[in-house]
Amino acid sequence: MDYNRPSSLLPKTALPGRKVPLFSMGSFLDPKTAELIFQISAALLPASLLTILAIFLLRRRRRATLASEKERALAEARLSEFSETDRDSVNASPGEKRSRKIETAQLTRRAEAFLSRGDLEEAEKLLIEALSLAPEDLTTKNLLAEISWQRGAVEKTRLLTEQILEQEPGNFAGNFLRGKVALAEGAVELAVKCLSASTGKNSKNPEHFLLLGRAFSAAGKSEEARAAFEKSLALAPRDKEILLTMIKHFQQQEPAELGVFLRRAKELHSHDRAFLRQLEELSVGADQDSSTS
């Protein structure tokens, strides 16, 4: 470095051969020394400013974070005073509620598609997600209860259907499933009550009248049982399960009518040799029982 030429970093008075006042302290330095000090200061000053600025921004950000955390804590404290339903109504705007309803319906339709294909696991995952968006949605709850029933989880199905009927006592699907559970658990009076309550929507469902007939039969109500079985058979005339259930009913409660009904069953399945053999075995058993008595 040429210390004999003027530098742009020095004040105009800092020329070769002149004394330069430094920092207004009243002391005078040699121009070369002054230029060196100014160069060092010029190099260090930007870094110092950046450091100071960085510290300032960090402190400001920390204050903002603390304030945000405090506000969040206060909000949570206020929300904890409300029930889950109240919280949802406070947080969700009308637009958000509509969006959740649409999303819930979409998830439910997808779950129904998986359920129709027998994929219970995927259907259940979608329904649980739908229930998290709409905890009071009865369609979602009914489908979850149906999955539990198909898996043989009778107790879980009972708990779900009890929740459904507590929310809406006249719910058709809830009463139908609750009736199934009650019949499986031997609570025949409750089965009759729930299955009767679900007749309206199931007026064309042969399984409904079959179960209702079983419930009436178990409760000792022969006429009501036979009427329900006849409705079931009218909806599905060749259904073997219905025919066998009716045969058992006649064996136990109306033996005099058994022979007539067996002939009717044979006519419906005259070309099904395996089923005809099954009917013959039932007929022989019935004849033995009648001769013994």
pLDDT tens across 26-61, in order? Answer: 444 555 665 665 566 556 555 556 566 556 656 766
Is the pLDDT higher at 268 or at 36? 268
> Per-residue pLDDT for 266 more than 80?
yes
Please give the DSSP secondary-structure letter assigned to residue 20.
E
User: Average pLDDT for residues 102-115, to the nearest whole number?
Assistant: 89
- The lowest-confidence range among 82-86, 146-150, 267-271 is 82-86
Residue 65's pLDDT band (cuts 50, 70, 90)? low
Which pLDDT does position 238 carry in this prediction? 87
What percent of the residues of the chain are helix, what percent strand, and what percent coil, each to the nearest 5? 75, 0, 25
Which pLDDT does position 201 carry in this prediction? 74
- The lowest-confidence range among 49-58, 70-79, 166-175, 249-258 is 70-79
Which pLDDT does position 262 carry in this prediction? 86
Residue 268's pLDDT band (cuts 50, 70, 90)? confident
Give the position of tokens 């699907």.
173
Which pLDDT does position 78 carry in this prediction? 40
Distance CA(219)–CA(221), nearest Å, equals 6
Distance CA(287)–CA(293), nearest Å, equals 10
- The lowest-confidence range among 59-68, 148-157, 234-243 is 59-68
Instruction: Give a three-class secondary structure readout of 195-247.
Output: HHHCCCCCCCCHHHHHHHHHHHHHCCCHHHHHHHHHHHHHHCCCCHHHHHHHH
Distances (CA, A) of 245 to 214, 223, 224: 8, 15, 15
List the one residue out of 148, 213, 142, 218 whose CA is nearest residue 175: 142
Which pLDDT does position 17 carry in this prediction? 47
> Per-residue pLDDT for 87 more than 50?
no
Cβ contacts of 229 within 8 Å, gap of 6 or more: 209, 210, 213, 242, 245, 246, 249
User: How confident is the prediction for the chain on average, in pLDDT?
Assistant: 76
Please give the DSSP secondary-structure letter assigned to residue 13.
T
- The lowest-confidence range among 2-6, 61-65, 66-70 is 2-6
Q: How many CB atoms lie within 10 A of CB 35?
A: 21
Which pLDDT does position 8 carry in this prediction? 44
pLDDT tens for each residue of 127-161: 999 988 888 899 999 999 999 999 999 999 999 99
Is the pLDDT higher at 61 or at 11? 61
User: Average pLDDT for residues 102-110, to the nearest whole number?
Assistant: 89
> Per-residue pLDDT for 115 more than 70?
yes
Residue 247's pLDDT band (cuts 50, 70, 90)? confident
Which pLDDT does position 256 carry in this prediction? 83
List the one residue out of 235, 224, 230 whose CA is nearest residue 202: 235
Is the pLDDT higher at 55 or at 108? 108
Distance CA(59)–CA(62), nearest Å, equals 5
